[in-house]
Chains A and B, each alone.
Chain A
Amino acid sequence: MTDMTATYAALEPSRAEKFRQRTVPLIAFAVLLLVIPLFNPSRSMVTLLNHMGITIVFALSYNMLLGRAGLLSFGHAVYMGLGGYFAVHVMNWVADGSGFWGAVPVFTMPAFGFGAGALAGAVIGWPSCRRAGTPFAMISLGVAELVAAAGFMFDSLFGGEMGISGDRMSGPEFLGLSLGPVDEVYWFIAFWTFIGVLGTYAFTRTPLGKLSEATRDNPERVEFVGYSPQRVRYLVFIFAGAFAGMAGGMSAVQDEIFTPENLSLIPSGAILIATYVGGIRYFTGPIMGAIIMTYMGSNLSDYTAGWLLYLGLMFVGVVMFLPNGIAGIVYGTTDTIRAGRLGEVWQSWLIRLAGLVLIATSVITIVEVAFRWSEGYGEVFEPFGLHLDTTNLLTWVLGVVPLVLGVLLVLKSAKGESK
C-alpha cells in the first residue's frame, strides 16, 4: 500500500518541480518588476511600461475567454471600459472626499474596476454565454456595437465625446505614494499587474479553470460529467470581465481619463490581435503579445508610416504560419535546446532564419517604397545610403529577389524538418 501511495504521488509534479515551474517564474516576474526602476527609465519609458502592465492584465483576461474557454469575443473592451469608467467615477467621488469615499485610497481603484467588470460580465454574459462558437462571437460583436453607441448617448455616465477625467492625486495616500509622478504610478501598476498575473494564473489552477478548458475541448462530455457548459462559460465570462475591469481600473489611474472610444470595437480588436499574436495556448503568450503590441502600437509609428501595415502583416503571418504565436516559437526553441536537439536542427533553423530575414528585407523595401511613393512628396527610402526610388532597378531587385529566395529557403527548411 505504501508502494501504491508512492506511485500516486509520482503523478503529481513534485514539490521541487512545482516550485521550479510555478513559483520561480512568478518570483522572477516580481523581481523584474522591482528592478526595472533601477535602470532609471525615462518617463515615457515608464509610461510605456505602465501601459504594458495594463495591456498584460487585459490580454490575460481576454485569453481566459479565447485561449482557455475557446470563446472568441469581439467586444472585450466593453468590460475594461466599463470597469475603467466606474473607477474614474469613484476617483471623482474620492476627490469630492465626503464620507466613505473620502477614506478610499486611489490605489484601490483596480479593485473597483474588478467589481464593475464582473458585474458587467454577469449582466451581459447571461444572454451571451448561452451559445459558444460563431454565435457567441457575433453576439459579442453586436453587444459591443450597442454598448459603444450607448457610450455616446448617456453623457452623465460616459461624458460624451470627451469622456470623463479624474485626478489620481486625490484621496488619502497609500504606502506613501502620492501617485503624482509617473514613476510612482509605476509601483501602483507593477503591484496590480502582479496581482493580475497571479490572479489569472491561479484561476487556471482552479477546478473552474480546468473545466473551462474541458468545455473548450468538448462541451458535450462536460455535460456528462455533471457540469453545465453554459454555466462554466458564464462563470468564466464573469471572471474575464472582472480582470478586464481591473485593467480598466489600472488605466483609469494611469491615464486619468476614459472616453466612449475605449468601449468600441477598435480596442477590442487590438486586444484580440495582441493575445493571438502572443499565443493563446500558453499562459505567458498574452503577456508577450501585450508587451510587443503595446511597444509597436506606441513606438513603431515613430519609425514608419506603414506601421499599421506591418502590424497587419504580422497578424496574418501568425494566423497562417504560427498558430501558437510568439510563445509557441519561444517554447519550441527552449524545449528543443533543453532536449539537446539543437545539434540536429540548427542547420534547418539557420536556413529558415536566413529565409525570414530575406523575406523581411523584401517586405520592408516594398512597404517603405510604396508608402513614400503613395505620399508623393518625392521622399525616397534610403536605408544604408541606398537611394531606393521607384525608378531605381535596385528597388525592384530588392523587392523581389530576396522574397523569392527567402520563400525557397523557408520551404526547404520546412521540408528538411518534416523528414
Chain B
Amino acid sequence: MAIKLVITDIHASYGSVRALMGVSLNLQSGQTVALLGTNGNGKSTLMKCVMGMVKPSSGSILLEIDGEHFDLTKLSTQEIVNLGVALVPEGRRLFPKLTVQENLLLGAFRPAARAEIATNLEFCYEAFPLLKERQHQLACSMSGGQQQMLAIARALMSSPKLLLIDEPSVGLSPLLVSTTITKIKELKEKYNLTVLMAEQSFHQAMRIADYGYIIVHGEIVFHSNVDELQNNQMIKSFYLGA
C-alpha cells in the first residue's frame, strides 16, 4: 500500500493562528516525519490545511495512494477522511459527554472502517488495555494522558493509511509524554503506518521520527534526517530564540 504526500509552497492563514509562508514538505510510505517548532508558528495550521479544515491561499497538497492522485485542497474534510487520512487533533477534541466506547465507535464512521470495526476495536483494547477497562466511562472524566490514548485509538479506529498527530504532548506531564511517544512508535512499527507528527518537544520527536522539519514564523527554516538534526547546534537557537 504505497502512499505519498507532497506539499508544495503552501501560503495560508487561519484566524489569529500563524500564517504559512511558502511551506513545502513531503512524506514517503512508512516514513515518520516530525514538524518541529514552538507553538504559534504554523504547525497546526499546516495540519489543518492537509485535513481540508483550512483552505490555503496558494500552493498544492497532493496525496498519492496506490498510484491514484488526489488534490486535497479541492476536497472537503469528510472526503479526505474517507480516503484514509486521520488526524489526532491538537487538544484531543474528544466527545466529552460520550463514553470511551462511543468515542471509539465514532472513529470508525467512514464506510471502509465500518467493515473492520470488530478487529479494530479489539486491536485498540489490546494496544490500550486501560481503555477496555473504562469503556463505559465518560471521556471527560479521564485524565489528560488517558484522553490522549483515547484520541489516538479513535483515529486508529478509522484504519488510516496516513496518520496525522497534532502536538500529542500538550498538557501532559513529561513522564506521560514519553509513554505516549513510545506507544505511537510501537503502533507505527507494528502496522508500518505513515505518520506526520507536529510536536513541540524536540527530544521526544527525535525518538520516533525518520526526518524532521523546523518551522519558525510560518517558514521551514531547516530540514534534514534525524541524525543530522540531533547534533545541530542551530536547533536550540530556533527553539529558544537566543
A and B are partners in one complex rather than unrelated chains: no
Q: Which residues of B contact A (CB under 8 A)?
A: none
Q: Which residues of A contact B (CB under 8 A)?
A: none
